[in-house]
Amino acid sequence: MPTKVAYQAKINYIQILNEQGKLDEKLSRGGLKDNDVIRLYEMMSLCRHYDEIAFKLQRSGRMGTYPQNKGQEAIGAVALAAQPDDWLVPCYRENTALFLHGLPMEHILLHWMGDERGNQIPDGVNVTPISIPIGTHMLHAAGIAWAQKLQGNDTAVFTFFGDGATSEGDFHEAMNFATVLKVPAVFICQNNKWAISTPGSKQSAAETFAQKGLAYGAHTIQIDGNDIFAVYKAAKDARAKALKDGKPTLIETLTYRLGDHTTADDARRYRDNAEVEEWLDRDPLIRTRKYLESKGLWDDAKQEAFDEDAKAKVSQIVKNAEGIAKPTTNDIFDYTYETLPEDLKRQRDTMKTHSLGINPQQETLRSPTGAASRV
């Protein structure tokens, strides 16, 4: 019997705004408007200021370990492709997208300061708390998307993760679940070349990370992850496909973290500085500013004014985070049960767990010697 091709596929790569700030007019049609670009540039720039201050907070002992977003801010364009009712299920390097989707900027600082109120998402903001365990949140995204489908909502779920997360079993389970059940989910892999200190070449033998989605029957695409126009288009198209045919999309965004993995890391020990210098020229802020300047929408004076305003905003955000009222001991009890059981109410009110503390009247049952009397 002759052989035949059992399966064949291709993965498209998209770049719309190149490193010099030149736009592909054809590919950009129906995409970001100039006011959207300004809004994104301002948020990316604000987050760059935010990153620098967060770094200083950690170094001065005012905050715990912090992962800078520097170099990966263009992912924020996803938030403009999403609708207010859509869900964002993040990892920990998506500040621009989270803030644009409505999360107050104090919350991220509170999280890294060790205050759990940073994970208490305000009502009406469809964002889950940032996820530190690698890959586990993708399962949550698949489940949320399934719930939206069962409820008949016209809602999509966007989840973000790094290239290293595709080596976790949770990634494969989430992809399989989402594609088999045809849920409106969009999986966004931020391929920043490094899984902490492990390079992509040792992370996977596949030519792309996008092709991992093919195994599960997902739509797949690879894009320039430092290009806000490409990020927006890919996210918008993926959302439409997910809601139309129930087929999730895996988007591989090629990007780079310009800083260390976290403030507990020293990337100089494993990264070649020449590689970092190469990616500095691909900085999403630089190319976006070049585009705005080419259209007469930005200049040095506007940048200077913006920077001063950004410094003031971030300073106020830090004051808000550090000035939050101390939590009460009631918080230990009040967020587990819909109706608090009586025994836990007594623990809460007395702040004691032993029976004598909770029921002082039992003191009369004790003998003068301290031993319990027989009754």
DSSP-assigned states of every residue in 10-45 = ---EE-SB-TTS-B-HHHHTTS--HHHHHHHHHHHH
Q: What angle do CA 181, 187, 188 make, to 5 degrees?
A: 175
Domain shared by 351 and 252, yes or no: no
Q: Which of 32, 38, 5 is nearest to 297 (CA)?
A: 38
Is the pLDDT at 77 greater than 90, yes or no? yes
pLDDT at 363: 53
Stretch 27-41: mean pLDDT: 97
Number of domains in the chain: 2
Are 284 and 341 contained in the same domain? no
Which residues fall within 8 angstroms of residue 268, CB to CB, at 6 or more apart? none
Kindly state whether residues 299 and 343 are assigned to the same domain.
Answer: no
pLDDT band at 334, cuts 50/70/90? confident
Using the predicted structure, report yes or no on whether residue 251 has a pLDDT greater than 70. yes
- DSSP for residue 309: H
298-323: per-residue pLDDT in tens? Answer: 999 999 999 999 999 999 999 999 99
- Residues 352, 262: one domain? no
Please report whether residue 371 resides in a domain.
Answer: no
Distance from C-alpha of 210 to C-alpha of 142, rounded to nearest angstrom:
18
Q: What is the pLDDT of residue 331?
A: 86
Domain boundary among 275, 304, 322: 322
Average pLDDT of the chain to the nearest whole number: 94
Alpha-carbon gap, residue 337 to 328, rounded angstroms: 17
3-state secondary structure of 252: strand
pLDDT bin (cut points 50, 70, 90) of residue 375 is: very low
The per-residue DSSP string of 158-180 comes to EEEEEGGGGGSHHHHHHHHHHHH
pLDDT surpassing 80 at residue 46:
yes
pLDDT of residue 351: 83
- Residue 166: closest CA among 201, 133, 209: 209
Give the lowest-confidence range in 70-79, 123-132, 320-329, 352-361: 352-361
Domain-embedded: residue 375:
no
Q: Is the pLDDT of residue 368 over 60?
A: no
C-alpha to C-alpha distance for 263 and 92, rounded to whole angstroms: 13
d(CA 22, CA 34): 14
- Please tell me what DSSP assigns to residue 140: H
**Whole-number Cα distances in Å, 128 to 9, 95, 140, 222, 287:** 34, 13, 9, 25, 30
119 and 77 in a common domain: yes
CA distance 225 to 228: 7
Q: Are strands 13-14 and 249-254 parallel, antiparallel or unpaired?
A: unpaired
* Sign of CA pseudo-dihedral 255, 235, 188, 112: positive
Beta bridge partners of 159: 89, 187
| pLDDT for 191 beyond 70 | yes
Please give the single-letter amino acid code of residue 178: A
* Same domain, yes or no: 349 and 206: no
250, 255, 247: which is closest to 235 by C-alpha? 250
Residues catalogued as catalytic: 257, 261, 270
What pLDDT, on a 0 to 100 scale, did the predictor assign at position 319?
Answer: 98
Same domain, 51 and 191: yes
Residue 374 pLDDT > 50: no
Range of the domain at 334: 329-360
Residues 318 and 337 grouped into a single domain: no
List the beta bridge partners of residue 254. 191, 224
Is 210 within the bounds of a domain?
A: yes
199 within domain boundaries: yes
Residue 158's pLDDT band, with cuts at 50, 70 and 90, is: very high
- How do residues 80-112 score in pLDDT, each as one tens digit? 999 999 999 999 999 999 999 999 999 999 999
